[in-house]
Amino acid sequence: MAERLGIQTIVGFTRSAAGSAHTWPPAVVPVTQLLPVLSETLDVSPQFEPRALQSPETGQQSGAKLRELVLGQSPLAATYNGIEHVWAMALGRMPYAVSGITRPVEIVPGAYRHTYEIDARYYSHAWRLNDGVLLDDGVLLDQQQVRHGTLAVDKGSDVIWENNGATIASLSFVSTIQNVLVNLEWIAHKLDRESITNTDLSLITCPIWNRLRHHDLTIRIGPQSDITPLDSSHDIDVSQWNFRLFNGLTVRQKQDSGLYIGEPRRINNPVITGGMLLPRWDDDTLVGYAQDGTDLMASMVYGGGEIAATGENYELAIYLPSLRLIAPKIPTRGSKIYNQTYVFDVDVPRETSAGMPETIERSPLIIELVTDRSTHPLY
């Protein structure tokens, strides 16, 4: 038998079916969307009784299994297309409509704007009126919003490693001169290595992914305002920057769930942190913001190539309506040019930040994506 090679691995993720009632564990679904995965580490982490039994009659007995946790990471190439559902699953909400405009918004035929925001109720629940749904929309209010799915890993062997109820525990975004990556940390209900639903991911059509590049980035940061939006006077130049969305999910193992977890859910606000490196030091503006604890806002916008022949370009915009710079570092390293390093904390904004997308609730993180996908990833 030929040895397996990592280059053969194919990974796909599709949201669980959205019924009219909460269901856990969810039914496994056929995976129809591939992910631009660079590597993955998903596997079972079993937990056993902490102490083995021992007696003269039976000798030493191994402890019984108490729990099976399915955990792992999957770094992705950051792309404009093909991971729309990943952003929706990580942040939790894309309203059905905002100010009466259904989402995603058609810019021109073939180009659509998706806007994702944080949903504090990160667990399966029915659509609500404050999700942009109106009573005369014909929307099924009892349809569940689910933020989990089937994550299938085809390692080129005879069976698929199928992770059911896979949920994104955290998302990290890293942009450097060399690469732009999205790293996902997963937690899942159960890992099945003998799938009968997903048997060959190579049959799924692989999209032509359009990757983000660091030099296509425009980053702006300035004082938070509900009147004055950011403009070119707020541009800064960074060698690298990153943020991490930690969803703070709690996993519960119940009497009726056996060895496996119940649906993960958020019980506290998510934690969003980040950092950036500026390649030079030519003024003290950011240092002053950090020392004064100034309430800031920021935008990070990547512009890609044209979407087919629509006249519209791919775009990924990351908005932070309220953040604080902390821990500025400007070390002296001999005769080299100074650089500046900062970390930042992201807060829920006290008021709407000017120039940023409209959301249902005040969200500490907003992702806006212009892509060719016309369907809503949650509805």
pLDDT, tens only, 331-341: 777 767 778 89
Give the mean model confidence (pLDDT) for residues 171-179. Answer: 97
CB of 64 closer than 8 Å to CB of 231: no
Omega of the bond prior to 104 within 30 degrees of 0, cis? Answer: yes
CB < 8 Å & 24+ apart, contacts of 280-287: 280/237, 280/337, 280/338, 280/339, 280/340, 281/330, 281/337, 281/338, 281/339, 281/340, 286/221, 286/236, 286/325, 286/328, 286/340, 286/342, 287/328, 287/330, 287/340
pLDDT in tens, 37-50: 999 999 988 777 76
* Residue whose C-alpha is closest to residue 259's, from 128, 98, 64, 123: 64
* Residue whose C-alpha is closest to residue 249's, from 307, 184, 170, 159: 170
CB of 273 closer than 8 Å to CB of 365: no
The DSSP annotation for 146-159 comes to ---EEEEEE-SSSS
| Mean residue pLDDT across the chain | 89
What six digits make up the tokens of 294?
């100034």
More confidently predicted of 234 and 62: 234
CB atoms within 10 A of CB 318: 22
Please tell me the predicted confidence (pLDDT) of residue 62. 66
pLDDT in tens, 68-112: 889 999 999 999 999 999 999 999 999 888 888 889 999 999 999
Give the mean model confidence (pLDDT) for residues 155-174. Answer: 89
Give the mean model confidence (pLDDT) for residues 296-313. Answer: 97
324 pairs with which residues across the strands? Answer: 345
| Residue 315 banded pLDDT, cuts 50, 70, 90 | very high
What is d(CA 277, CA 329) in angstroms, rounded to the nearest whole number? 10
What is d(CA 113, CA 138) in angstroms, rounded to the nearest whole number? 22
Asked if the model's pLDDT at residue 239 lies above 70, the reply is yes
| Residue 65 banded pLDDT, cuts 50, 70, 90 | confident
Asked if the model's pLDDT at residue 288 lies above 70, the reply is yes
At 59, the amino acid letter reads G
More confidently predicted of 194 and 241: 241
Give the mean model confidence (pLDDT) for residues 269-289. Answer: 90
| Residue 290 banded pLDDT, cuts 50, 70, 90 | very high
* Residue whose C-alpha is closest to residue 95's, from 139, 59, 65: 139
More confidently predicted of 139 and 211: 211
Asked if the model's pLDDT at residue 4 lies above 50, the reply is no
Domain boundaries along the sequence of the chain: 6-49+66-371
What is d(CA 97, CA 152) in angstroms, rounded to the nearest whole number? 31
Give the mean model confidence (pLDDT) for residues 276-304. Answer: 92
Asked if the model's pLDDT at residue 5 lies above 60, the reply is no
- Determine the 3-state secondary structure of 221 from DSSP: strand
* Residue whose C-alpha is closest to residue 66's, from 47, 39, 89: 47
Distance of CA 159 to the CA centre of its chain: 27
| Residue 158 banded pLDDT, cuts 50, 70, 90 | low
| Residue 1 banded pLDDT, cuts 50, 70, 90 | very low
Residues 243-273 as b/e (b if ≥16 CB within 10 A, e otherwise) read bbbebbbebebeeebeebbbbbbbeeebebb
